[in-house]
Amino acid sequence: MDGDLDTAHISNLHQFDSIDDVPDDGTDKPGYPSGYMSMRFWRHDPRAVIEVDDTWHGFRYAGIRTTPNGYRHARITAYIFPSSTIIAQIPFSTRQIFVVPVDDYTTYRYNFTTQPPQNPRGLGGPLFFTYEKYPFTMMQPNGVVPRVHTRENDYNIDRVAQKGTSYSGIVDFRSQDAMATETAGPIFDRTREHLGSTDVALIRMHRLLLRAAKGLARGEQPPALGGGGDFRSIRGAEKILADGEDWRLLGTDADPIVAEALLARKEQPVR
């Protein structure tokens, strides 16, 4: 879960050298950038400023980066207590990542969407991993897919590629995340952590979990339970902010882009 709530890691772990060749397509301005330009922003400003907004389901947070043209680019991710996230996407996202503990050493990680994507204007254009110079594989599988890149085979790290193609030298995007998670060990000693300014969302999640565990022992109800809100309204989002624009509105029911997409879905003919 830490990786899902760490926007900073996309500025290093998932980086590749040819990202500098992404052409300026004119979307580095207030509004919705292309997915390709978003990748440029990750590398341009690796020191994202983290802002957190507490909610009934946990919190939403924004990783705010400065673009090459000097604008504020916000990637908003939602944390749903206790172990779900909805990660930023242009213009907004409902795809959930759900982490299920199996025992003290093993977890299952599921990706699923309960609502069809709604982006009638095609904002953001092609997905970032379709960039012609993108060096990583990016599977979009259905069902359970056997892993090819594992700890046992050292994630098939290519040391030559690591010197001249990508930061990790691992060709599969999701296996880069798996490597960073699994090599920490099955049980990580949190007393030896040194968290910093880009770990604000992680700190908030850890405190929520600890507080809820202590509260449960006293008979208190954990967060996100009891019918306090509509889970269908939780979304991630991504946008370049205009002067004075509040990122907290993005991806909510009050966001005009969300309202437009929901209306378009209602108007679709029933099949």
Residue 159 lies in a domain: no
Instruction: Give the Cα separation of 169 and 163 in Å (integer).
Output: 8
Q: Which helix (H) or strand (E) holds 85?
A: strand 84-86
Task: Indicate whether 170 belongs to any domain.
Answer: no
> Residue 252's domain spans which residues?
3-135+201-267
Name the nearest CA neighbour of 90 among 64, 41, 60, 124: 124
Tens of pLDDT, residue by residue over 141-170, are 677 778 899 999 999 999 999 998 999 999
pLDDT band at 140 (very low <50, low <70, confident <90, very high): low
| CA gap 58, 71 in Å, rounded | 28
In-domain check, residue 182: no
| CA gyration radius, the chain | 19
- CA distance linking residue 260 with residue 42, whole number of Å: 28
Q: Which of 267, 233, 22, 264 is nearest to 123 (CA)?
A: 264
pLDDT at site 117? 67
Q: Is 35 in contact with 90 (CB distance < 8 Å)?
A: yes
Report d(CA 177, CA 170) in Å as an integer: 10
- For the chain, the domain total comes to 1
Q: What is the pTM of this model?
A: 0.90
Q: Classify residue 10: in a domain, yes or no.
A: yes
> What are the pLDDT digits (tens) for 50-94?
999 999 999 999 999 999 999 999 999 999 999 999 999 999 999
Query: Considering the domain boundaries, does residue 184 fall inside one?
Result: no
Does residue 163 lie within any of the structural domains? no
Q: Does some domain include residue 173?
A: no
